[in-house]
Amino acid sequence: MSATISITFYARQSRAKEDGQTPIFMRVKIGADYFDTNTRIFIAPNRWSGATGKVKGNQEHAKFTNSLLDTFRSKALDIQRQLMLEGKQITIAAIKNRWFGVSVERSRMLMEIFEHHNSQMKELIGKEFSSLTYQRYVTSKKHTQEFLKWKLKVEDISISELNYEFITDYEFWLKSVRNCDHNTTLKYLSNFKKIVNICLKNSWLQRNPFIGYKMTKREVERPYLTFEELNRIATKTFIAPRINQVRDIFLFSCYTGLAYADVKKLSRSEISVGIDGDKWIFTHRQKTESATRIPLLPPAQEILERYASHPQCLNEGRLLPVLSNQKMNGYLKEIADMCDITKKMTTHTARHTFATTVTLTNGVPIETVSKMLGHKNLKTTQHYAKILDMKVSQDMGALKAIFKAQSKARIPTPAGAS
């Protein structure tokens, strides 16, 4: 990339015209390699200085011709600088191709890069990525292709066509045509931004189309069950064995904070004796691969013992007979109806319930809760703390008691009082 080029001009006598004027050629050289190009400027042989590579004299014609030659020199140097900025290797072939406008590189196509990224991610499932992460990018690629058909009526485009307008139109399409909410839209755009960053890091794209685009998520209310609602589900007797099974797995998540994917893959080897001599869960979150250590609460341990000999658990080497997420959520809707719970209940509601009702409300420090949830950032856990009016009431109640005690201590005893 730091190759030094030399630029010289010479009069080629073998190409002289009938009137004796000779054309001036420019030679660009790197090491032993060079290429020559005709400037199409002609000069009388006696007016040319081979030593300086310029037209002799100070006349206007000489100054004008030498100025033109300087323009040729500047163009060659600009090509060298351009190649350096693009991180390309500076060779005579590269300079010559740029000089004559020869495109030696096929334009890189957006969907081809997206597909290459996804195929590599697929090979790394279980090593660096989860299958759920891979599926999100598969869906994101599908949405991007559908957007291209909607906006441009094409299957693919060159990445050079990406700009700010493309990003904002994509956002509009996701929200209008796909009917995605704001935060879901940002998730798809975040996946797309990763593809753009690959192009930028490889110097395939010179300008980031996301410059000036704000990706700010809106805070949403996270549904969770109160202690009374949780107890209502736990004590309810259901006729169908499958509903009892789904209820137990949901409760297990409420008492451990594990997400659906982590409960589904939980094996016997992930239960071990912790630092306190009791049983703990030692696992890694499938979503983030972060280590998670959770002491087993008595209700959670009872559920594990209940399914220790379940055929599905024995056959699959798992601790619980977990159904598909779709079926689980379907049964949970039935459970909510039968328990007179109007909140939307999904497998993820259990994780929110653990963070709020089971832990934070009972005085477990937020740092400890964050560790058990496998959060990499405490801010993620703080979203749960914001919605706990009960916890705020308890904390402020203790403070009120202090102020009341101080106030009583300052009240003077009335004269004559015994």
**120: CATH:** 1.10.150
Q: How do residues 46-105 score in pLDDT, each as one tens digit?
A: 999 999 999 999 899 999 999 999 999 999 999 999 888 876 778 888 888 888 877 655
Q: What mean pLDDT, rounded, does the chain reach?
A: 87
Q: How do residues 361-414 score in pLDDT, each as one tens digit?
A: 888 888 888 888 877 776 666 666 655 566 667 667 777 888 888 777 766 655
Using the predicted structure, report yes or no on whether residue 318 has a pLDDT greater than 60.
yes
- pLDDT score at 378: 66
76 and 57 in contact (C-beta within 8 Å)?
no
Tell me if 389 is assigned to some domain: no
Backbone angles phi, psi at 59, to 5 degrees: -65, 160
- pLDDT score at 361: 82
Q: Quick one: 144 and 88 in the same domain? A: no
- pLDDT score at 1: 42
- The lowest-confidence range among 14-23, 158-167, 290-299, 398-407 is 398-407
Measure the CA–CA gap between 323 and 321, rounded to whole angstroms: 7
Measure the CA–CA gap between 368 and 374, rounded to whole angstroms: 10
- pLDDT score at 417: 53
Tell me if 390 is assigned to some domain: no
Q: Quick one: 74 and 122 in the same domain? A: no
Q: How confident is the model at residue 418 (pLDDT cuts 50, 70, 90)?
A: very low
Q: How confident is the model at residue 207 (pLDDT cuts 50, 70, 90)?
A: confident
The owner of tokens 């005709």 is: 38
In one letter, which amino acid is 289?
Answer: E
Q: How confident is the model at residue 337 (pLDDT cuts 50, 70, 90)?
A: very high
Q: Quick one: 256 and 325 in the same domain? A: yes
Query: How much is the average pLDDT of 304-326?
Result: 90
Tell whether pTM > 0.75: no
Tell me if 56 is assigned to some domain: yes
5-19 core/surface letters (b: 16 or more CB in 10 A; e: else): bebebebeeeeeeee
**Of 155, 185, 201, which residue constitutes the final position of a domain?**
201
Using the predicted structure, report yes or no on whether residue 206 has a pLDDT greater than 70.
yes
Name every residue whose Cβ is closer than 8 Å to that of residue 335 and which is 6 or more positions away in sequence: 233, 236, 238, 243, 246, 247, 250, 341, 345
Q: Quick one: 126 and 21 in the same domain? A: no
**Of 48, 64, 99, which residue constitutes the final position of a domain?**
99
Measure the CA–CA gap between 293 and 253, rounded to whole angstroms: 14
> The domain that contains 354 carries what CATH number?
1.10.443.10
- pLDDT score at 287: 65
Q: Is 360 helix (H, G, I), strand (E, B) or coil?
A: helix
Q: Quick one: 181 and 304 in the same domain? A: no
Q: How confident is the model at residue 171 (pLDDT cuts 50, 70, 90)?
A: very high
Q: Quick one: 119 and 55 in the same domain? A: no
- pLDDT score at 195: 96
Q: Which domain holds residue 231?
A: 227-380
145-155 core/surface letters (b: 16 or more CB in 10 A; e: else): bebbeeeeeee
Q: Quick one: 236 and 359 in the same domain? A: yes
**Of 99, 124, 139, which residue constitutes the final position of a domain?**
99
Helix or strand holding residue 39 (H, E) = strand 33-43
Helix or strand holding residue 333 (H, E) = helix 325-338
Q: Quick one: 156 and 283 in the same domain? A: no
Count the domains in the chain.
Answer: 3
Measure the CA–CA gap between 43 and 23, rounded to whole angstroms: 7
Q: Where are the beta strands (DSSP E) in 22-178?
A: 22-30, 33-43, 48-49, 54-55
- pLDDT score at 400: 82
Measure the CA–CA gap between 33 and 415, rounded to whole angstroms: 111
- pLDDT score at 410: 66
Measure the CA–CA gap between 266 and 187, rounded to whole angstroms: 27
Tell me if 221 is assigned to some domain: no
- The lowest-confidence range among 7-11, 140-144, 211-215, 414-418 is 414-418
- How is residue 415 written in tokens? 């004269």
The owner of tokens 């900025």 is: 85
Measure the CA–CA gap between 206 and 222, rounded to whole angstroms: 40
Q: Quick one: 63 and 126 in the same domain? A: no
Tell me if 177 is assigned to some domain: yes
Q: Quick one: 45 and 125 in the same domain? A: no
β-bridge pairing 22-30 and 33-43: antiparallel
β-bridge pairing 291-295 and 48-49: unpaired
Name every residue whose Cβ is closer than 8 Å to that of residue 2 and which is 6 or more positions away in sequence: 90
- Output the CA torsion sign for 190, 191, 192, 197: positive
Q: Quick one: 138 and 244 in the same domain? A: no
Tell me if 220 is assigned to some domain: no
Q: How do residues 97-129 score in pLDDT, each as one tens digit?
A: 888 877 655 678 999 999 999 999 999 987 888
Q: Quick one: 253 and 151 in the same domain? A: no
Q: How do residues 217-232 score in pLDDT, each as one tens digit?
A: 877 777 889 899 999 9
- Output the CA torsion sign for 125, 128, 131, 137: negative
Using the predicted structure, report yes or no on whether residue 215 has a pLDDT greater than 60.
yes
Q: How do residues 237-254 score in pLDDT, each as one tens digit?
A: 889 989 999 999 999 999
Backbone angles phi, psi at 31, to 5 degrees: 65, -125
Q: How do residues 33-48 score in pLDDT, each as one tens digit?
A: 899 999 999 999 999 9
Tell me if 407 is assigned to some domain: no
Using the predicted structure, report yes or no on whether residue 303 has a pLDDT greater than 90.
yes
Measure the CA–CA gap between 27 and 39, rounded to whole angstroms: 10
Q: Is 55 helix (H, G, I), strand (E, B) or coil?
A: strand
The alpha carbon of residue 199 and the mean position of all alpha carbons in its chain are separated, in whole angstroms, by 14
| Sheet arrangement for strand 291-295 | 271-273, 279-284, 291-295
Tell me if 263 is assigned to some domain: yes
